[in-house]
A and B are shown apart, each in its own frame.
Chain A
Amino acid sequence: MAGTVSPHDAKTLIEQLPILQVLVPFCTAPLIVLIGNRHMAWLLAFVASVISLVISYVLLTQVYGGGFISYQLGGWAPPLGIEYRVDAANALVMLLISAIATLTLPFAYESVKDEIKAKDHTLFYACFMLCYTGLMGVVITGDAFNVFVFLEISSLSTYVLVAQGAGRDKRALTAAYDYLIMGTIGATFFVIGIGFLFMSTGTLNMADLADRIANEGTNRTIRAGFAFIIVGMGLKAAMYPLHLWLPKAYTFAPSAVTVLLSATSTKMAIYVLLRFLFSVYNPEFIFELNVMFLVFMPLALIAMFSASFVAVFQVNFKRMLAYSSIAQIGYMLLGIAMFNLSGLTGTMVHMFNHGITKAVLFMGVGALVLRTGSSFYNNLNGLGRVMPLTVAPIVIGGLSLIGVPGTAGFVSKWMLVQAAFENGWWFIAILIVLSSLLAVVYVWRAIEVLYLSEPAQGTKMAEAPMSMLIPMWILAIACIWFGVATDLPLGAASTAAEVLLSGSFGMVE
């Protein structure tokens, strides 16, 4: 038998990119532990995230105009083997995640030194990379069960990362524990849903699932699976009544972790929701339309108002931003519920824009925490005059959060309003504008504290270190850049929305 070598075309580096996207951060984590030096740990993590960012960009340019890249793990062809599948929708999310991680790491360098004990730094960066691996894996994979595996990788490391805040405030431990319980319930629901799907279709590959559900129609098992998946992912995405873990986790986690989580983790869950709603299940099914109109839409509207309203009355800057995140997730769900091209484009663009906006805001708070040791408003009085370079990006981020024209936040809200008008739902459009007014109130409150109140007597604060200022300013400029030059996110997002709406994940080769 041996002897004759069957011809095999060697894979090029470009063809290997989808797996490298996951493999580079994944291998970095054990390498960091093995080397066990905290300075090297940071450097390795940073280099890995930069490589990953470059890969994301190359992948996005390949699928920007449509089409997809498929990668078979272990050479086993799908649907039996695990498949990684890159199209415009997940390439955009990957670009967001890797860009945020690359910017968070320089920020983390000083912040982690300040907030976490030195002996834990190595393991912190290892966990950071594992969390990043999980996020990337969930987004890139085309296999439903593989989503669950990566989801667990990212969740488990997230719980550890949140708990690291205990060095500053012991409540981080209960926050992490709450998140652990809620997150585990979410993941369990999700895997039960996958189990139902597997039971009635006999496959786990998303494209194959889509084909079989489309061809064989649905049954009660498949519909039950749908319900479980929506609730499970809704928990992870902090969909309105399932959001209770989020404010605590964001408030008590170390600043760098909050930046990463707020900008990527819930976005990843929204992406999975989109994948299952539009790619695996077919939105033509009446039960799914019912879910969108009768569940997503009212919950999204409640989130937009109630979470914003709660945010207005917070006295802790970090907690205020956390509640604002819940409201912003409401906008993304609203875009899904619109169920038209503009609405979905709005959701995709808002994922991206809100990611960079929240990242700059949480970085700003992190920088203030580094200098003042607190994120409560009464300790931040007048800091805008004392450290202008550090606080200015917060203002830009705040404007983008409100959706002031000329900032990134405006573009996505405009898409949503446009989508509402396309459906003839002028009432919804008014509600979007009204809830933005609430954002004006809570952002103004922060600006009032930072600029208009008197700094405490003899406050002499240095500006945040350069390693924090540079990523903050890059993000702040990005908030404006993507508000003026909207081609990249809007172009990619509308391609992504078309891909999702056509359900081409399974059908079009």
Chain B
Amino acid sequence: MHHHHLILRVVTKLLAGTIILYALYVQFHGDFSPGGGFQAGVIMAVAFILYGIVFGLVAVQRVFPPWLVHKIVALGVLIYAGTGIYAMMLGYEFLDYGAFDPGHPSHGQHNGILAVELGVGVTVTGVMVAIYYAFAGRAPRISDEDW
């Protein structure tokens, strides 16, 4: 099965790491340049989806098993909500990032945004990959060889 498409396979292997790196850049640079959690999450998921398309569902699920995808979806939401709850514990309103640096609220806002965007990124990665798994996991009506 994997004896053809040599170029695709090599390029995919080269690109996967780069895509993940770029996703992290978009994630953490989101407050200075276009980007943020959602975009970063989608790009991150693309790395896995591309790998899955070229090497097959089984291979990508060995790297990123479905149970882990589900946990990650939930984890991101908890990171987001947890940031808000942390602000509440400091005696501020939910998601009032000013709490994180009372002497300099704009720094607090900055840190808070980074934290919730991380949550968004994690969840979006999980959701995108989960959608891909759901579609790719369906048994095809006609197998690939019969075309």
Contacts and interface: CB of A to CB of B under 8 A. Distances in A.
A34 B94 contact: no
B93 A23 contact: no
A73 B103 contact: no
Given A2-B103, A73-B93, A16 B88 contact: yes
Contact of B93 (A11, A26, A33): A11
Interface string B66-82: 01001101110110010
A43 to B, nearest CB: 17
Interface centre among B71, B77, B107 (most CB of A within 10 A): B77
A436 B107 CA distance: 63
A31 B92 contact: no
Contact of A11 (B85, B88, B97): B88
B36 interface: no
B74 A75 contact: no
Given A73-B94, A75-B93, A75-B98, A34 B103 contact: no
A3 interface: yes
A6 B67 CA distance: 46
B92 A30 contact: no
B94 A74 contact: yes
A74 B86 CA distance: 12
Nearest to A16: B88
A4 B88 contact: no
A75 to B, nearest CB: 4
B73 A33 contact: yes
B95 interface: yes
Given A11-B92, A73-B94, A73-B95, A2 B73 contact: no
A75 B92 CA distance: 8
A194 to B, nearest CB: 22
Given A11-B93, A19-B94, A30 B77 contact: yes
A47 interface: no
Interface in A60-109: 71-75
A29 B78 CA distance: 9
A4 B95 CA distance: 22
B132 to A, nearest CB: 18
A14 interface: no
A27 B78 contact: yes
Interface residues of A, number: 28
Given A33-B71, A36-B71, A16 B94 contact: yes
A5 B102 contact: yes
Contacts of B107: 2
Nearest to A126: B74
A23 B94 CA distance: 9
A10 interface: yes
Given A30-B77, A34-B75, A4 B103 contact: yes
A286 interface: no
A10 B97 contact: no
B104 interface: yes
A1 B102 CA distance: 12
B96 interface: yes
B137 interface: no
Contact of B96 (A1, A4, A75): A75
A293 to B, nearest CB: 42
A460 interface: no
B91 interface: yes
Interface string A320-357: 00000000000000000000000000000000000000
A9 to B, nearest CB: 8
Contacts of B90: 10
Given A8-B102, A26-B81, A74 B95 contact: yes
Given A30-B74, A75-B98, A8 B81 contact: no
Contacts of A8: 91-92, 102
A26 B73 CA distance: 14
A266 B33 CA distance: 44
A92 to B, nearest CB: 24
A31 B78 CA distance: 8
Contacts of B67: 36
A10 B67 CA distance: 40
A172 to B, nearest CB: 19
B73 to A, nearest CB: 7
B104 A30 contact: no
Nearest to B112: A74
Interface string A24-52: 00110111111010000000000000000
A183 B98 CA distance: 38
Nearest to B96: A75
A33 B70 CA distance: 7
Given A5-B102, A74-B95, 7 more contacts: A6-B103, A10-B90, A11-B92, A23-B94, A26-B81, A34-B71, A73-B94
29 contacts: A1-B104, A2-B103, A3-B103, A4-B103, A8-B102, A10-B90, A10-B92, A11-B88, A11-B92, A11-B93, A16-B88, A16-B93, A19-B94, A27-B78, A27-B81, A30-B73, A30-B75, A31-B74, A32-B74, A33-B70, A34-B71, A71-B93, A72-B93, A73-B93, A73-B94, A73-B95, A74-B95, A75-B98, A126-B74
